[in-house]
Amino acid sequence: MKISYMHEFIALAENLNYSHTAEELFISQPALSRHITAIETDIGIQLLKRTKHSVELTPMGMIVVSEFKKLLNNMKIYLLRLRYYLPVLQVNSR
């Protein structure tokens, strides 16, 4: 699963509108739809309840969006730490 798909799912969960989310993310609506379907296929869980006029998170979708936010935040923290410690490690290895 691509990290960008997680970001897209979080944005869709906040907007609950494919068109607005796609526009906000500068991607096409069909591409966004494919990415969300790919996440659901990878996980094996329906994350969204879709009708012709609305989108809502399933109970599992609510959990997954929360977990994606935690995961992406942890990744951000890890990368910041890595950027901080990398110069120190390079100096000490000489």
In this predicted model, what pLDDT tens digit does every residue of 45-68 receive, in sequence order?
999 999 888 899 999 999 999 999
Residue with the two structure tokens 């591409």: 31
The domain spans of the chain are: 3-92
Cα–Cα distance measured from residue 85 to residue 34, given in angstroms and rounded to the nearest whole number: 38
DSSP character for 1? Answer: -
Q: What's residue 60's pLDDT?
A: 98
**Section 19-24 average pLDDT:** 96
3-92: CATH topology: Arc Repressor Mutant, subunit A (1.10.10)
Q: For the whole model, what pTM was predicted?
A: 0.87
**Section 25-37 average pLDDT:** 98
* Chain mean pLDDT for the chain: 93
Cα–Cα distance measured from residue 49 to residue 56, given in angstroms and rounded to the nearest whole number: 5
